[in-house]
Amino acid sequence: MSRLDPPRLSRRSFLSLASLGSFFAALGTAAAGIFRLPNPAVLPGPVRRFKLGPPEQFSAGSETAFAEQNLVLFRDDEGFYAISSTCTHLGCTVARSKDGFACPCHGSRFDSKGSVIGGPAPRPLPWLEVSRAANGDLIVSADNEVPEDTRYRV
């Protein structure tokens, strides 16, 4: 062995250095996780509020489907209410049927108020908040559920 050759590393020294390296790598990963924790990993989505038009365009006893917004707006003698047309099972769009709503994907059935009457759906169709904009148009907030039989009175 010449004088310029590096000293030989024993197996024990190698394993000691490897364990120290692993310890500091784990410590660095944990620290990175701790510093990242206060920042949310999921950003909030866009607000889902839909202007549907002036209340005068919806006659009493009417039901109007808004396919793009996945909701059905109803008007009866008590006021307006909106029911989501997104199935609570796996998110398919339900269709209006003679006795309420029916999911074409997995066979869930709902009555005219959105309550489950058959199929795998775990909960009823949500009723959505109806309100008015400053210009008088009806607004449905798809992010805000309200109790069943909640009406917006004009």
Whether 39 is in a domain gets the answer yes
Tell me if 86 sits within 8 A of 127, measured CB to CB.
Answer: no
Residue 131 has pLDDT above 90, yes or no: yes
Q: Which of 90, 88, 72 is nearest to 80 (CA)?
A: 72
Check residue 45 and give its pLDDT.
Answer: 73
At 2 the pLDDT is: 64
* The pLDDT of residue 1 is above 60: no
What does the pLDDT look like over 53-80, one tens digit per residue? 898 998 888 889 988 889 999 999 889 9
User: Does residue 148 register a pLDDT over 80?
Assistant: yes
pLDDT (0 to 100) of residue 27: 96
Question: Rounded CA gap, 131 and 154, in Å?
Answer: 9
Predicted TM-score (pTM) of the model is 0.69
53 Rama sector, left if φ>0, alpha if ψ -120 to 50, beta otherwise: left
- Give the domain range for residue 32: 9-43
Total domain count for the chain? 2
Q: 68 and 32 in one domain?
A: no
Kindly report the length of the chain: 154
- Same domain? For 57 and 37 the reply is no
% of the chain at pLDDT higher than 90? 41
Average pLDDT over every residue of 19-28: 96
Q: Which residues are within 8 A (CB) of 94 and not within 5 positions of it... i.e. 6 or more apart?
A: 85, 86, 87, 101, 102, 103, 104, 108, 110, 125
- Can you say how many angstroms the Cα of residue 3 is from the centroid of all Cα atoms in its chain? 69
Weakest mean pLDDT among 7-21, 33-47, 69-83, 136-150? 33-47
3-state SS class at 118: strand
Inside any domain, residue 129: yes
